Structure 1
Amino acid sequence: MDEALTGKTALVAGGTRGAGRGIAVALGERGATVYVTGRSTRAGRSELDRPETIEETAELVTAAGGRGVPVRTDHLEPDQVAALVARIDAEQGRLDVLVNDIWGAEPFVAFDVPFWERPLDQGLRMLRLAVETHLITSHLALPLLVRNPGGLVVEVTDGTAETNAEYRKEPGLFYDLAKWSVLRLGLSQAAEIAPHGCTALSVSPGWLRSEEMLDTFGVTEETWRDALAKEPHFAISESPTFVGRAVAALAADPGRHRWNGTSQSSGGLARVYGFTDTDGSRPDSWRYIEEVVVPGRPADTTGYR
């Protein structure tokens, strides 16, 4: 275990599964105490009705060498978030890392449907889940984080400012707006907290092998390559551990302020910090998508992982 984050406290908001779980565990691997929040617990599931729970993530954090603390929190409810932050303050007296990974809008993602034909209530719900939750959480957590210089805020999104420069017609306007809003949150919070000696940025995984994505292809993390028969480009995919190690590397880097206000990808950060995915590779999904998928070239990850 790398003990670079021993004595540090992190909050991974939206840590039930996917990138959030990968980030929480990677922070635990470096010794951090990690508060894991979400709405799915062993006592009941969120409307996503998936089996993953915050308790499982917290146990994985502890098994990795840190200390995982599960706290059921609906991040659309300011009172619940305020109580969470008050608890962290009472128990730890500090917050060193805030990761905003709240999402939960998968049921509202739609393809091949014009913006005006999509249900308005679903689109607005997506924006609430993807943006309002982040605003509420940062608004209530930043007073604790900026109390000590060196704090880090990571906004988890899909794509960087460079890769999202053009409109992402699929999955459409609501999705595009949600992900761009989170990019801007990384930029704007950077300006707000820099005078306190703190850092904020946005980080994007590549093609993430989340639990839901694996279920979509009918595979597991151990058998994920079986999905290549159906989708050859899935060969560039990455595990949640990869983006987790990206965030952990940032948190452990005393020079992380050089990233303030930027948007980064897991693949790009891997080239700088030298970490790998679980198979020892460094998948560069976004460059692969731009250079192989978009031009319609045959799947070939040579030089991309």
Structure 2
Amino acid sequence: MTTDHRPDHPSDDRREGPLAGVVALVAGATRGAGRAIAVQLGAAGATVYATGRTTRDKVSEVGRATETIEQTAELVTAAGGEGVAVPADHLDPDQVRALVDRIDREHGRLDVLVNSLWGGDRLLEFNTRMWDTDLDVGLRMLDLGIRSHAITSSIALPLMLRRPGGLLVEMTDGTAEYNGPRFRENFYYDLAKTSPIRMAFALAADLKGTGTTAVALTPGFLRSEEMLDHFGVTEETWRDGIAQEPTFAIAESPVLVGRAVAALAADPARERWSGQSLSSGQLAREYGFTDADGSRPDAWGYLLAMRDGTPPPAEDYR
């Protein structure tokens, strides 16, 4: 691993917020949901290790050079936390071990682990049958969406388990209710995005009695940097994308899912959620937070309501 970027910031005991003193690792914090989660944890006062493969010196296979883990760490610090950028490929167990060892040396604890690892959208081809998909491409998607999560949890959980009250979040796309009866239009994508839901369920069983909570969490129709680029819009003009895709009317900014993780981390009774599949919209209702614009979009509620083929008014789900 290369040298990290760690901005100067007041120590934990001088920081304020419901998560002051909390140490978090957001694996896959370069952009999108991962970045927003890191920033919102920082806004609540946490120290956040932000990992990923794109730095100011090196660009990952995703090819988006303008989004880096150093930027994420700076945003965390600006929000009120302490951001620590550490380059890491989470498919390499040695790099993950070095990362966890460093967190242990520097803090002796890990309170929150967010597996927001993916980066496989560029490989995704919808309406392509399993046997017509290049095998190497398909297996790479499984590595990025499943194997990386398993490696990270396996290595990081022993540190988290030293103290009761830890939180492990498996990020995915879709809820158990939505994904369960539906094929997600690509064999490998279906596996990559359904498996984290089962991972959280299985980990909750393994973690029973430890005081550590494991959940799966999905954003809704996420207005990530990549999605905004896809529609040719910005966060300020995002509604122009509705003309291309009507369901974009229920889209949410990454802030919503970031606030969802921060709310879970600050909830002393969060263990009641262990093993469950949750969504940002669901937790916004439960905890009372909103998106950056003050709305409370519920994308998965909206999509489930479309089961009869008749789109409901989008405004009813904002």
Structures share a fold, TM > 0.5? yes
Cα distance in 1, alignment partners of residues 239 and 136 from structure 2: 37
Identical-residue share of aligned pairs (%)? 61
1:149 maps onto 2:161 in alignment: no
Q: TM-score, normalised by structure 1?
A: 0.97
CA pair 230-60 structure 1, distance change in 2 beyond 3 A = same
Residues 131, 178 of structure 1: 8 Å contact kept = yes
1:101 maps onto 2:112 in alignment: no
Aligned to 1:203: 217
Aligned to 1:303, what secondary structure does the other structure show?
helix
Cα distance in 2, alignment partners of residues 177 and 130 from structure 1: 9
Query: How far apart are 1:298 and its partner, in Å?
Result: 4.9
Query: Which structure 2 residues correspond to residues 160-171 of structure 1 after superposition, within 5 A?
Result: 160-170=175-185
Residues 199, 260 of structure 1: 8 Å contact kept = yes
Query: Which structure 2 residues correspond to residues 243-254 of structure 1 after superposition, within 5 A?
Result: 243-254=257-268
Aligned to 2:192: 178
Q: Which of 268, 279, 286 in structure 1 is aligned with 2:282? A: 268
Q: Which of 5, 11, 19 in structure 1 is aligned with 2:33? A: 19
Aligned to 1:37: 51
Aligned to 1:37, what secondary structure does the other structure show?
strand
C-alpha deviations, 1:86-144, integer Å up to 9, x for none? 00011111100000000011111111211111111111110011110001101110000
Aligned to 2:315: 302
Aligned to 2:20: 6
Cα distance in 2, alignment partners of residues 299 and 228 from structure 1: 15
CA pair 258-169 structure 1, distance change in 2 beyond 3 A = closer
Aligned to 2:79: 64
Give the stretch that moved more between structures: 145-154 or 223-232: 223-232
Residues 305, 312 of structure 2: 8 Å contact kept = no
Aligned to 1:71, what secondary structure does the other structure show?
strand
Query: Which stretches in structure 2 are left out of the alignment for 5+ residues?
Result: 1-14
Quote the RMSD (CA, aligned, Å): 1.3
Query: How far apart are 1:173 and its partner, in Å?
Result: 1.1
Aligned to 2:168, what secondary structure does the other structure show?
strand
Cα distance in 2, alignment partners of residues 138 and 284 from structure 1: 29
1:213 maps onto 2:249 in alignment: no
Cα distance in 2, alignment partners of residues 260 and 296 from structure 1: 33
Aligned to 2:305: 291
Query: How many residues were matched structurally?
Result: 303
Amino acid in structure 2 at the alignment position of 1:261:
G
Residues 233, 299 of structure 1: 8 Å contact kept = no
Query: How far apart are 1:169 and its partner, in Å?
Result: 4.3
